[in-house]
Copies of this chain bind each other. A is one copy, B any other.
Amino acid sequence: MEADLVIIGAGSGGYEAALYARRRGMKVILVELSPETVGGNCLNKGCIPSKFMRHGAYLIDKLSKMKQWGIFPTGYTFNFSHLKSERDKVIFTIRENFKKFAKTVNIPIVYGKGIVKDPHTVYVEGAGLTIKTRFILLATGSKPISVGKLLPDGRRILDTDQIWNIEKIPSRILIVGGGAVGVEFAYIFKNYGCKVTLVELRRRILPTDDIPEDSARYLGRKLRQIGVDIRTKTTVESYEEIPQGLQVKLTDGSELIVDLILLAIGRRPNTEGIGLEDAGVEKDERGFVKVDSYSRTTVPGVYACGDITSPLMLAHKAMYEGKVAVSHMLGENEWQRDPMIIPKIVYSALEVASVGLTEDQAEEEGYDVKVGVSSFVFNPKAMDDGENEGFVRIVVDEKSGKILGAHIVGPHAGELIHQVIHMIKGNLDIDMAVRSMYAHPSLSEAVGQSLSEIKYGSLTWTKR
């Protein structure tokens, strides 16, 4: 078997890169572990099923607020197995469409474990197949980690691969880890009627530098308001199985009894047993495959994308890096990875979206930082929709007028952030952005308003 490009891993990055390469005329072969894992973690055990369940949680939220529009629901019954089967139907539909489409555009998927034999040879274990190829793209993804004593047993202690299999919503859950996954599940379980405790070892939820303190604090307040028990600087000290569930002792000295523990503490790259060492593909000290701005590894002809390249494990980052890699294979040099335009989006009790630099990061990099903030509280569209919470924060370099970052908390933040992504990508400065158009009424007005605040100062500062 021969190809221009063999892609190991048909997750978000591998699949998107395959379609892009095919579209650009390359002969592509995808290698994936099994027909059930096509689509990777995002589709099968990550963003797609979690966003489905999150929409259900959002609907339950909406049910309780409908009276504002004259609608008084008399109640509802809840059927978890129906939720689950509908959720899995969405996954199945997307996965089967993926496969059908690959077939239509003539991208073979070979099932088995892809191993790099040399920079131009991939051996597929299981299929017993050797493929000769001009280029290789590594897109093998990641898997959940566990820490310390907390070992997932698939029964009482579940990791983010196992949580999808539960047969009912537990009465009491302890979520370990206050990152994106932890706060997403906290909202889902809480609204579906579960008592939720969330512990985070660091001093705040969403404890990464690329999400500002303000965003994390605003979401934390909202989660507490709906009844999630959040404990920062806290983790599990010990636990013991008792007839009623798990008796857990936390490091803050408190004890609680829960039915389940969900481990949402992070993931590690799938870089073992795929021949990287033999082929000479280098990894950094944290175990990630080293890549340059064209997604090239240290071995000519071998590229890598997605979760194996950095701890910022996001489906769209993988897709983007995959396309950058393919573009470079085709001899194009214009498309380089730009870390400034990768959005980080969290779907919890509110949507939290960040792109580019935070205020702190911009200051550290020596920019002349100016920040504009606009609240959704008095945004007319948000008021009409009863979702007037949150804010838009935009970070600009005052000297150059360059837009450095945006941090949005509130309704549809994950979509609204795109207008700032493209402003950053297109090097639009504040003058252009202020003079663009923002529909009225729209949520997007808040973007225009925070830009105006930077350009012209806060209205309340006006000289009388």
Per-position binary interface string of chain A over residues 72-100, scored 1 when its CB falls under 8 Å from any chain B CB and 0 otherwise: 11111111111110100010011001000
Q: Which residues of B contact A227 (CB under 8 A)?
A: none
Number of copies: 2
The 9 nearest A-B residue pairs measured at CB: A70-B83, A56-B69, A316-B440, A51-B384, A315-B440, A425-B436, A426-B428, A418-B444, A52-B384
Is A203 an interface residue when CB atoms closer than 8 A count as contact?
no
Chain B minimum-CB-distance residue to A385: B55
Contact B422 A422 (CB under 8 A): yes
Q: Is the CB of A74 within 8 A of B74?
A: yes
Instruction: Flag A378-390 by CB within 8 Å of B: 1 or 0 each.
Output: 1011011110000
The chain B residue with its CB closest to the CB of A16 is B440
Question: Within 8 Å of chain B (Cβ to Cβ): is A129?
Answer: no
A43-61 CB contacts (< 8 Å) to partner B: 43, 47-48, 51-56, 59-60
Q: Is the CB of A47 within 8 A of B440?
A: yes
Q: Across the interface, do A425 and B432 meet the contact criterion of CB distance under 8 Å?
A: yes
Residues A442 and B345 in contact, CB atoms below 8 Å apart:
yes
A34 proximal to B (CB < 8 A): no
Q: Which residue of B lies closest to A169 (CB)?
A: B70
Q: Which chain A residues numbered 414 to 464 have a C-beta less than 8 Å away from chain B?
A: 414-419, 421-423, 425-428, 431-433, 435-444, 447, 452, 456-457, 459-460, 462-464
Cβ contact within 8 Å between B73 and A76: yes
Q: How far is the CB of A391 from chain B (nearest CB, A)?
A: 16
Partner of A63, one of B20, B73, B75, B315: B73
Which residues of the other chain, B, contact A25 by a CB distance below 8 angstroms?
Answer: 462-463
Instruction: Identify which of B20, B62, B422 contacts A59 (C-beta below 8 A).
Output: B62
Task: Give the Cβ gap from A171 to chain B, nearest Cβ, in Å.
Answer: 17
- Establish whether residues B383 and A93, one from each chain, have CB atoms under 8 Å apart when the complex forms: yes
- Bound CA–CA A152/B412 (angstroms): 39
CB atoms of B79 and A55 under 8 A apart: no
Q: How far apart sit A316 and B447, CA to CA, in the bound complex (Å)?
A: 14
A42 to B440, CA, bound (A): 9
Are B415 and A459 closer than 8 Å at their CB atoms? no
